[in-house]
Structure 1
Amino acid sequence: MAVEERDPVSGRPTTGHEWNGIKELDTPVPRGVLMFIIVTHVWALLWWILMPTWPMITTYTKGLLNTNQREIVEQDLTAAQAQRAAWMKTIETSSFEEILANEDLMKIVRTTGRQLFGDNCAACHGADGRGRANYPDLTDEDWLWGGGPEKIAETMRIGINSTHQNTRVAQMPAFGRDAILDRTQVANVATYVQSLSNPAVSTPQNLEQMKAGREIFLTTCAACHGEDGKGNREVGAPNLTDQFWLYGGDLQTLINTIHGGRQGHMPTWDERLTPAEIKILALYVVSLGEKRP
């Protein structure tokens, strides 16, 4: 019969195993750990019995509770869509003025519009709507086609230079590349255009250049931008007299624009979004300008 060996320090028996001079104590598993293992096993057993658990060849065990998470989610979605349908119908059939006057509907516009904007518009215009390089800021007062909710909704519906049959069409000709103007003329008219928004550009030293640039502007550019350079929203021609620039208002960028032309693109959302969603987005975009400090 083997003699039981005990640890001289703790007095506990050892297992007889030894590693590098260290002997393993025969210590029982803590009672708390045993209870935890028992409880988890009992819980797992109950779960297997009560809930859908085990896959089979063509189906799965349904469990005594016969719970179907897919059906629960579908029921929740159906209930949410039914609740959403009521106020979506109200927004679709109401005028912009009626919606703006109804604070309950405007709360929906602000929450739903924010989600729609993030999903569909933020990639180009930024999450805050302030745009980025070559994409317009939607929070200022500078609009190519008009900034009222009706105009914004129409722009979203048909797009700009898009595939929609009624799309808005706008293009800045390439005056230099297509040899409509020579290099000197391009530089002169660019300097004049810059002076419209920055009077400091007009100096006695470039008086002749400014005069020549104005003559070119009146014969070449005024048809779209107007003789005063304040633009024309009927054709999407921007105002050249303010401080809002889509591509940049410095002299070199203006020269590049006049030389190579510009053609923006706004996709049509007519098939992707419903009329009510377009209306919500238009009102939300208007609200972005109201939040601008």
Structure 2
Amino acid sequence: MADKRIDEPTGTEFVGHEWDGIEELDTPMPRWWVYTFYATIVWAIGFVIAYPAIPGLKQASEGLLGWSSRGQLAEEMEAADQARLSVREALAVMPIERLPADPDLMSQAVSGGSAAFKVNCVQCHGSGAAGSQTLGYANLNDDDWLWGGDLKAIEYTITNGIRQPDHPGSRVGAMPAFAGAFSSEQLNDLTNHVLSLSGKAESNAAGAQIFSENCALCHGPTGEGNRTLGAPRLNDAIWLRGGTREDIIAQVTNPKLGAMPAWDERLDPVTIKMLAAYVHSLGGGEDTPSPTAPDETETAPPEQEAQTPAQ
């Protein structure tokens, strides 16, 4: 071109742009960059052929490899289902008292139980399993247990429920109302003695005598409780329905008895086993009894009423 201008020091043609005395040179791109650019074009063409890329009215092109994100998700979901199935199969044949011997399986059971707890149990026991003294829902984080806190005992309680008259294996325990049975002075003496068992008041001979005659049969002479009857322990600082003087008097005169559904009518045995493992892991779970020890939870507890104040 007649007006073609070359920069003498570099031998490069000027583009023709000029601003404030500054001109631009038409310097060619480095060869490596040009070749890389061509390679990306070739790669893009190959990608469009191999994978779904060209949109259509209903779906994109399928690609020669037949891959799709939906197909990949389906494969991953199937793999996850297979993994869960293998865990459930292992849990189905593993006696719950032997779960601690298999830490990996125990961990899987606790994880599954955590999910099941959020769906089925938080309505009463709360998201943190702290329960409610006002409503009488047990705190599952402490180490006080009405019916036993080892894995097998927890599994039995969840399976068969508490105070379910239509369920043959349900935990059964009751307490009579002592309203009118004691004078105001006797009720005050008894309350002081119950409080003294956990160091909250001074004991007295009259209250101790009333307790011995009316309460010790189920709660024990020193208030240690009786898990066969579901009679709570009275000599610690953990109370299901409150530990004030007013709470104890109310529970002695007009006891409130809680209930829990039998979950074997709603959940499968493996899910119940996972729930038991999760509850056991919350902090208050007790060591599993030896497999050779007598199994007191295989049969339903006796339908005997607790003739005692309830914690």
TM-score scaled by length of structure 1: 0.69
Q: What residue in structure 2 maps to residue 187 of structure 1?
A: 188
What pairs up with 1:1-293 in 2 under 5 angstroms?
Answer: 46-50=55-59, 80-133=80-133, 134-162=136-164, 163-176=166-179, 179-199=180-200, 201-202=201-202, 210-289=204-283
- What is the Cα deviation at residue 75 of structure 1? 8.0
**AA of the residue aligned to 1:132:** S
Contact 2:144–2:284 under 8 Å retained in 1: no
Contact 1:99–1:105 under 8 Å retained in 2: yes
Q: What residue in structure 1 maps to residue 9 of structure 2?
A: none
Runs of 4+ in 1 over 3 A off after TM superposition: 69-83
Q: Following the alignment from structure 1 to structure 2, what is the Cα–Cα distance between the partners of residues 180 and 74?
A: 68
Which stretch shows the higher mean deviation, 218-227 or 71-80? 71-80
| 3-state SS of paired residue (1:243) | coil
Q: Following the alignment from structure 1 to structure 2, what is the Cα–Cα distance between the partners of residues 195 and 216?
A: 14
**AA of the residue aligned to 2:268:** T
Q: How many residues align?
A: 227
- What is the Cα deviation at residue 71 of structure 1? 10
Q: Following the alignment from structure 1 to structure 2, what is the Cα–Cα distance between the partners of residues 244 and 80?
A: 42
Q: Following the alignment from structure 1 to structure 2, what is the Cα–Cα distance between the partners of residues 196 and 250?
A: 13
Instruction: In structure 1, list runs of 5 or more residues that go unmatched.
Output: 1-44, 52-62
Contact 2:140–2:282 under 8 Å retained in 1: yes
Q: Following the alignment from structure 2 to structure 1, what is the Cα–Cα distance between the partners of residues 78 and 57?
A: 29
- Listed one character per residue, the Cα deviations across residues 226-253 of structure 1 (whole Å, up to 9, x for unaligned) are 1111110110001100000001111111
What's the RMSD between the two structures over aligned residues? Answer: 2.9
**AA of the residue aligned to 2:162:** I
- Listed one character per residue, the Cα deviations across residues 14-44 of structure 1 (whole Å, up to 9, x for unaligned) are xxxxxxxxxxxxxxxxxxxxxxxxxxxxxxx
Contact 2:224–2:233 under 8 Å retained in 1: yes
- What is the Cα deviation at residue 172 of structure 1? 2.2
**AA of the residue aligned to 1:149:** L
| 3-state SS of paired residue (1:180) | coil
Contact 2:140–2:284 under 8 Å retained in 1: no
| 3-state SS of paired residue (2:263) | coil
- What is the Cα deviation at residue 77 of structure 1? 6.2
Q: What residue in structure 1 maps to residue 18 of structure 2?
A: none
Contact 1:49–1:64 under 8 Å retained in 2: no
Instruction: In structure 2, list runs of 5 or more residues that go unmatched.
Output: 1-53, 64-68, 286-311
Q: Following the alignment from structure 1 to structure 2, what is the Cα–Cα distance between the partners of residues 185 and 72?
A: 74
Mark the CA change 1:232 to 1:95 in structure 2 (over 3 Å): closer, same or farther.
same
- Listed one character per residue, the Cα deviations across residues 191-246 of structure 1 (whole Å, up to 9, x for unaligned) are 210111125x11xxxx7xx2211111111111110111111011000110000000
**AA of the residue aligned to 1:169:** V
Mark the CA change 1:92 to 1:49 in structure 2 (over 3 Å): closer, same or farther.
closer
Q: Following the alignment from structure 2 to structure 1, what is the Cα–Cα distance between the partners of residues 174 and 77?
A: 44
Q: Following the alignment from structure 1 to structure 2, what is the Cα–Cα distance between the partners of residues 288 and 227?
A: 30
- What is the Cα deviation at residue 264 of structure 1? 1.1
Q: What residue in structure 2 maps to residue 40 of structure 1?
A: none
| 3-state SS of paired residue (1:289) | coil
**AA of the residue aligned to 2:117:** F
Q: Following the alignment from structure 1 to structure 2, what is the Cα–Cα distance between the partners of residues 186 and 110?
A: 45
| 3-state SS of paired residue (1:283) | helix
Contact 1:146–1:233 under 8 Å retained in 2: yes
Mark the CA change 1:224 to 1:290 in structure 2 (over 3 Å): closer, same or farther.
closer
TM-score scaled by length of structure 2: 0.65
- Listed one character per residue, the Cα deviations across residues 236-284 of structure 1 (whole Å, up to 9, x for unaligned) are 0011000000011111110111010121111110121111111111111
- Listed one character per residue, the Cα deviations across residues 49-70 of structure 1 (whole Å, up to 9, x for unaligned) are 427xxxxxxxxxxx999xxx99
Q: Following the alignment from structure 1 to structure 2, what is the Cα–Cα distance between the partners of residues 263 and 277?
A: 27
Q: Following the alignment from structure 1 to structure 2, what is the Cα–Cα distance between the partners of residues 98 and 229?
A: 32
